Structure 1
Amino acid sequence: MSSRQRDPQPQVSDPWWTYAQGAAAALAQGIEPPEVAVYGPILQDDEYAYLCTNAWTSRLLAGDGTYRHTTLMALGSAKFMVGMLAAQGIINHRRRKAARREAVPSWQLHRDSTVILTDRRLICTGSDGNLIDFWFGRVTEFYPDLRARSIVVAFGDECAPLRIDGPAVPAIALWAAVGIYGHRWINDARLHALVPADYHAARPPVADPRPDPQQWIQAKIQQRAALN
């Protein structure tokens, strides 16, 4: 395994990294993960929770580019009317600029969220404090970045992309990958730093098809901006 793929491994004590490596090693040996108790969300009869923690979440959102056009109505001298029209133009110009700025997608709704991983979904706190379900079966794109402790998950046109940041990302990324890929999670080169080296030594190298997460984010921002 190349040193590049092992780079994300921290050099100091890191409980979340240690936990994720231990869980990955157990999964690689076919050991079933232990369940954790969660309180609040009602799980399905055959659904199992594997992780409950806290992390920072945000959503990639954009405005629709519209704004309220102001028309000032008043009677007065010609000088007064000219000044009023100038003020109206300034107000509308500022609103138009603000609408254009808000139409550019950006990460919004930042919050410290409860994050729960089950074998079927990712659950996290929404902007209103209620829990939101993100079902693994609806994921269209998955970008874990262990070095940056960040994950981006997209759901096509169903809802806005979700980003998760924080120390617990190695564990969140692992369980999300298991939920998305099943046993094939171990083939994801972006997670190889979590898997024991001797496991990879017995397998042929797997190509790393990932785009850079930051490039993906910028591409999505440009695509959404072009639609507005």
Structure 2
Amino acid sequence: MKKLTVLLALSLGSLSAFAQNNDTNGPTGLRSSTDYGTGTSDSRNTGFGIKGGFNLADVYGDDKKNFGNGGNYKSFHAGVYGQYGFNNRLSIQPEILYSRQGFEGNSTKTTTTGTSSTQVTVSERRLDYLQVPVLLVFNILDNVSIHAGPQVSLLTKVMEDGKERKIADENNAHGYSYSSFDYGVSAGAEARVGPARVGARYTAGFADVIKDQNLTATGNKALSDIRNSVFQVYLGIGFTQ
């Protein structure tokens, strides 16, 4: 994680320097957001585009310690965005993303019937979400911006150790169901070179991933106090209006 963060910071810095150099000395026609008049919505920050990249997902919360051999889940996200510039510095950016998340960590349910016991163990969970972040974007430099805002997500699919299972079904063999709805906050930074964008973002979910857990069987540990945690790196192409 530290190496990835350092690499991203260096990339953002390099792209920012390259972009500023191009805006000053580059080819004619590469417009800067400050080429537009202040106090107007006519800005390079207005437009739409596509984006996608890498997810490094995990969970946080008090019950994370009850999952053995925990680890990050590496996957991807992709989607579209629209952006409306209030001026050459401030804009709002809603997005629609498909994000494949999840986490690794062993959990075991023990069920005792008479003198016999049955154990069901899960070690990897994949969670597919349809996400809608709405971000406030501020250009700290002409080609470098920071963004933050709320996000809502709908869980569309769950895979446990490669097998699909129902989202809301606490009567399954594992004794719990999943929350179909998540909400949280996102924050990050982005650099632009012409129509290209590169950025990073962290999203923290506030809703419990697991709910309706049955703890009546002997040996079961609480697993419901965990929430989504995702670090994203992405590339995008924007089309300004």
- Which TM-score band applies after superposition, normalised by the shorter structure? 0.3 to 0.5
Query: TM-score by structure 2 length?
Result: 0.32
**Greater fraction of residues in strand:** 2
The structure with the larger Rg is: 1
**Greater fraction of residues in helix:** 1
Higher relative contact order (CA 8 A, sep 6+): 1
